[in-house]
Amino acid sequence: MGSFFIIINVAALLLLAGVLYFMQKKHISFSKRVFTALGMGIVLGFVLQLIYGLESETLLQSTEWFNIIGTGYVKLLQMVVMPLVFISIVSAFTKLTITTNLGKVAGLIIGLLVGTTAVAAAVGISATLGFNLEAVQIDGGETEQARGQEIEQQYTEIEGQSFPQKIIELIPANPFLDFTGQRGTSTIAVVIFAAFVGFAFLGIKRKEPEQAEFFKKMIDAIYSIVMRIVTLVLRLTPYGILAIMAKTVATSNFAAIAKLGEFVLASYVALAVMFIIHLLILTLAGLNPITYVKKAFPVLSFAFTSRSSAGTLPLNIKAQTKSFGVPEGIANFAGSFGLSIGQNGCAGVYPAMLAVMIAPTVGIDPLSPTFLLTLIAVVAISSFGVAGVGGGATFAAILVLSTMNLPVALAGLLISVEPLIDMARTAVNVSGSMTAGVVTSRVTKELDTGVYNGQEKEAIYS
């Protein structure tokens, strides 16, 4: 009988996917299809949990089938991340789009990413103090204690690693290993390797122009193939969002979320404030923030549902170049650096909130100016090398808490609401990355304001 209901549940998902396909055939805008997928996924998830209950084996097996579409889509995006990063940056060198001011571009992007992360830390601190949150207010069961022990184990693995050692971790000793994405800093390592290939091309161009021209044609061909793969995968975005959202809502423990509702609310307030700060930065750069919100919505929606900054990278870069008018080189640097440096949500707001909550448990006054200034500095510096995948926030929290001599295990108390908060954190991470790319290209006078202010180019997803 259970199998019958599983078939019914999967059929319901496929029926909704059929609605999205019908909308696509009717040429309804990509943004509207994404928004519709988000709404239908939420409704389907609520209905399934209401009918079967959170602990239902039928529900769990149904969501396993949902993963074929949801997780499968995320994996397809992750499949193309490393080839996209590498070929796009090498292509930027062969097209001479960023080499004239490479240092300025990289400096501006990193400065914006780290600077906004410091601001995010201040916002997180303010939200925690404003809601009067403390770790002692949270009760921990067996699951939370187990999570705390797991976090302590992770801490022992990175304990004693100095900041210079963390910088060294960014350098690719084996680029082929980094192409597999096995290290948290693999993306930045691939960026560095691609930059070396690009500079080597410039040297060969002066000495052996014929060889350089052959290499350029080869890179152009590979770039066209990779971008076509990206476009094909991005067409599946509404279906991926539908399945991911349905599973997320169906398997969310709303009782636990309600129990920690104040922390969830404080987190969302802090993340919303950080997003508004992104819009203020764009406004100060002379750009319309409403236009940004409209064009960024599909990207941020996927980041929200997938909880993967790395998986969102193809969408991120496409939106920057085709919707906002950012040059390819700057978009690729901003998107790639944003995966491991200065993630406003995961490496900024979250660890700062945890530190302020945990400080009173060890007799530290969280209102002390020395503590607060030190915390903001530590958060900004620790934001280097945070992986852009699920779990990056935990890694950032371990780094910050251990540096501030605070107990890391207490971070495990929030495991029940982690997925819900991580959705908004990821969206803010991606927004920070896109903001850095748009503002950098604006400062360097390379932004195509005609594209930025023009209509959404639906062709980028077709």
Give pLDDT tens digits for 172-196: 888 888 888 777 677 778 888 988 9
Mark out the alpha helices in 235-288 (DSSP H runs). 237-250, 254-259, 261-284
Share of the chain above pLDDT 90, in %: 33
Residue pLDDT, tens place only, 30-56:
878 888 998 999 999 999 998 888 888
CB neighbours of residue 206 within 10 Å: 8
- CA–CA separation, 14 and 44 (whole Å): 11
End-to-end Cα, the chain, rounded Å: 42
Task: Report the distance separating Cα 194 and Cα 205, nearest Å.
Answer: 16
Q: What is the pLDDT of residues 282-300, one digit of tens each?
A: 999 999 999 999 999 889 9
| pLDDT value for 401 | 81
Q: Which residues have a Cβ under 8 Å from the Cβ of 424 and sit 6 or more positions away?
A: 267, 268, 271, 304, 345
Instruction: Give the other-Cβ count within 10 Å of 11's Cβ.
Output: 10
pTM of full prediction above 0.75: yes
CATH number of the domain that 21 lies in?
1.10.3860.10
Helices (H) and strands (E) in the chain, counts: 20, 0
Using alpha carbons only, what angle is made at residue 334 by residues 264 and 459, rounded to the nearest 5 degrees? Answer: 90
**What proportion of the chain, given as a percentage, has pLDDT over 70?**
86
Contact, 97 vs 329, CB < 8 A?
A: yes
pLDDT 10s digits, 310-341: 778 888 988 999 999 998 888 888 888 887 78
Rounded Cα–Cα distance for residues 338 and 437 (Å): 10
Domain with 47, as residue range(s), is: 2-461
CA dist., res. 302 & res. 312, Å (int): 7
Of the candidates 242, 282, 267, the residue with the CA atom closest to the CA atom of residue 131: 267
Instruction: Report the mean per-residue pLDDT for the chain.
Output: 83
pLDDT-derived band at 390 (thresholds 50, 70, 90) equals very low
**How many domains does the chain fold into?**
1
Question: What is the distance, to the nearest Å, from the Cα of residue 296 to the centroid of all Cα atoms in its chain?
Answer: 13
